[in-house]
Structures are given as structure tokens and as C-alpha cells.
Chains A and B, each alone.
Chain A
Amino acid sequence: GNSVTQMEGPVTLSEEAFLTINCTYTATGYPSLFWYVQYPGEGLQLLLKATKADDKGSNKGFEATYRKETTSFHLEKGSVQVSDSAVYFCALKDTGRRALTFGSGTRLQVQP
């Protein structure tokens, strides 16, 4: 079956630090990969996505590259801000499946 594994949080960083949140997946087909973000008091919203191997998704300074050989989709940002504090969810949509499979989420706390 499909699954998504994320690094456990919370991840606590100082402002302007480099961020990596690891995500690996297991899928039976050729999935699309997503990062969703949940800011405090808000619903989940799409941050970025990649639909095939070697694609790089990017948005708001965040990037993630679809690595088929390592079945990974790690989220990175070069310089985090306090406003990036949120919970980040990695997700996949496998071919032939309509529902997304989500990881358990990683809470990021950025301190000024």
C-alpha cells in the first residue's frame, strides 16, 4: 500500500536558519507528490507539488525535488522566518487512487 513518512517534530530553528524536513514515500504506481502547510488557526493549504521524477516544486522560497531513486521529497528553505511557523504535511497521490495519502506532519517553530 501507499505510505508517507516524515521526520518527527517539532523542529525549532532560529530566524534565517536553513530548513530541511525529510519526507520519504512508498507507492505502487507513479505518484504525484505534495507539501501542504497548516498555519495556526487555518486549514491546510497547498505549498508546492511535483508530478514526475526530477521535477522541482517551489513556492514562497520553499523547494522540494521529486527523487524517484531515493523515493524522497524533502522540503527545504534557505532562510526561514517566524511567519513560517506551521505544521507541514507531505502527501502523495498515486495513479488510480483519488485520495491523497498524508504523512503525520512536522511542526516547525521559528524563533526570532
Chain B
Amino acid sequence: GAGVSQSPSNKVTEKGKDVELRCDPISGHTALYWYRQSLGQGLEFLIYFQGNSAPDKSGLPSDRFSAERTGESVSTLTIQRTQQEDSAVYLCASRGDGLTNTGELFFGEGSRLTVL
């Protein structure tokens, strides 16, 4: 696609429910990142995928959070048993590699999650 696409753009859920957030990166981008942006806070790194390498999960805040990516395509971030403190905007970004790697991250518009 032309840019990074995220869905849903807005999600309201009840505490304790599971949610899935989807990211479709720029075609050909091998690197994919998930960040979380809470109100008044900076961007918090969650997880990083690079091609077929093992993902860097060092930013995931708890075992309720997980993410998958199949090859170099779509990624899904799953939050189980959501809590109110999970309310935030979840941002996905992708980056090219090799000749297309300028170091720049290309961000989607985010998925705003509200846990009631």
C-alpha cells in the first residue's frame, strides 16, 4: 500500500475483554514496530519485527500483550483481559531495509483504544 494502514482507528471495549489491532506496513518494508502513546506521555516502544528474525519483545508491558507478524506482511497486536490503563493510541511503523533504508520510520495514524 501507499502508507502504513492501521485498523480499527477507534476501539471501545469493556474491561476484561480481548482486543486485536492490525497493522499493514508499506509493501517491501521488512522492519515493523509497535509503539504506545498514552495521554501526555511519549511514545513507548512495545515490539519490533525484522524479517524472519526473532522479534524484540523487550517493550511489552505484561504477558497480556502479544504480537505476531507473518513474514513481511500484516502484524496483529493482541491485548488480553484489557485493563483501563491499556487505554492509549497504539501506533505501528515500518522501515525499509538495504537500499531503501534511510533510517526513517513511517507511521500509521494509530488505533485509539478506550477501555471502559
Contacts and interface: CB of A to CB of B under 8 A. Distances in A.
Interface of A: 4, 32, 36, 41-46, 49, 51, 89, 91, 93, 98-105
Interface stretch (B37-45, B60-68, B73-81): B37-45
Nearest to B59: A99
A21 B105 CA distance: 21
**Residues of B in contact with A, size category:** 20 to 34
Interface of B: 3-4, 31, 33, 35, 40-43, 45, 48, 50, 56, 59, 91, 93, 103-110
Given A45-B107, A98-B56, A100-B105, 18 more contacts: A4-B42, A32-B103, A41-B109, A42-B109, A43-B108, A43-B110, A45-B106, A46-B104, A89-B42, A98-B48, A98-B50, A99-B59, A100-B33, A100-B45, A102-B42, A102-B43, A103-B42, A104-B41
B103 A93 contact: yes
A51 B104 CA distance: 12
Nearest to A5: B42
A103 B45 CA distance: 12
Contacts, number: 52
B107 A43 contact: yes
Contacts of B33: 99-100
Contacts of A46: 104-105
B33 to A, nearest CB: 6
B23 to A, nearest CB: 11
B103 A43 contact: no
A43 B109 contact: yes
8 contacts: A43-B106, A49-B103, A89-B42, A93-B103, A99-B45, A99-B48, A103-B42, A105-B42
